[in-house]
Amino acid sequence: MPQHTDRRYEEELGRLRQHILEMGGLVERQIGDATRSLSTANRSLAEATIERDHEVNHYDVEIDEECVHLLALRQPAARDLRLITTSLKITTDLERIGDMAVNICERAIELSDRPLDLIVDLPRMAEMVKKMLRESLDAFVREDADLALAVCQEDDDVDLLHREMFNEMLPRMSSDPSLLVPGMAQLFVSKYLERIADHATNIAEMVIFMVKGKSIRHLSVPSSL
């Protein structure tokens, strides 16, 4: 970003970026702990992760207030205006990712009183979506439209893995009724992770708008910008 002559204004913008990164780091931790609580049948970890969701919500409110303050008092234009409005939208997606992590924990608690073998590769899917989230936030801070575009393209890989898991699970659940409850829970988690990938993609699309001033939302993902 170009340096402003108003040093305080520049510090406020820098603080806004930092808070979004902090919120993103917390949300990434939520995803990791949620999926680990499921794979290890760790009820206490699931409950602690749910309890920590209030910190995600606190960031959401705090960043919204920062953005409203900047819009009202600084009257930003052009690039700064896109930064602030993009930040408002990013926090919404991060808060919803936090909600998805809570949903995963709720499935983990439901299954915590029984041995659980992961029938589908949820840890690999979780690593994929965490990587997408991390890269989308890196693209935001670095104003890297090419990295943001790469995140959008990675969403197809997550969608494919989700479909493969679904197609693998259905016949196994049909042939073995004992797999019905754990299998359905894991398919729900797969869907939650697929939705997290969608939110990471939303963030990446907004970064492209912030940097390039053009929207690719609701369009086929281009191969280059």
- Give the pLDDT confidence score for residue 220 in this predicted structure: 66
What is the pTM assigned to this prediction?
0.89
Beta-carbon neighbour count of residue 117 at 10 Å? 8
Is the residue at 180 inside a domain? yes
Q: Are 31 and 43 in contact (CB under 8 A)?
A: no
DSSP 219: S
State the 10-residue block means of pLDDT for the chain, 225 residues long.
68 94 95 91 95 97 95 87 93 97 94 68 90 95 94 94 89 86 87 96 94 74 66
Could you give the number of structural domains in the chain? 1
Full domain range(s) for residue 187: 7-212
Q: Are 60 and 22 in contact (CB under 8 A)?
A: no
Query: What are 71's two structure tokens?
Result: 């819009």
Is the residue at 2 inside a domain? no
User: How many angstroms separate the CA atoms of 168 and 54, rounded?
Assistant: 36
Is the residue at 222 inside a domain? no
User: How many angstroms separate the CA atoms of 33 and 45, rounded?
Assistant: 7
Is the residue at 224 inside a domain? no
Which CATH number does the domain housing residue 33 bear? 1.20.58.220
User: How many angstroms separate the CA atoms of 137 and 18, rounded?
Assistant: 11
Is the residue at 186 inside a domain? yes
- Report the first-to-last Cα separation within the chain, whole angstroms: 20
Is the residue at 168 inside a domain? yes
User: In terms of C-beta density within 10 A (0-12 exposed, 13-18 middle, 19 or more buried), how is residue 171 classed?
Assistant: exposed
Is the residue at 128 inside a domain? yes
Q: Are 214 and 208 in contact (CB under 8 A)?
A: yes
Is the residue at 99 inside a domain? yes
User: How many angstroms separate the CA atoms of 165 and 162, rounded?
Assistant: 5
- Give the pLDDT confidence score for residue 1 in this predicted structure: 46
- Give the pLDDT confidence score for residue 31 in this predicted structure: 95
- Give the pLDDT confidence score for residue 205 in this predicted structure: 95
- ∠ CA 200-223-158, nearest 5°, is 35
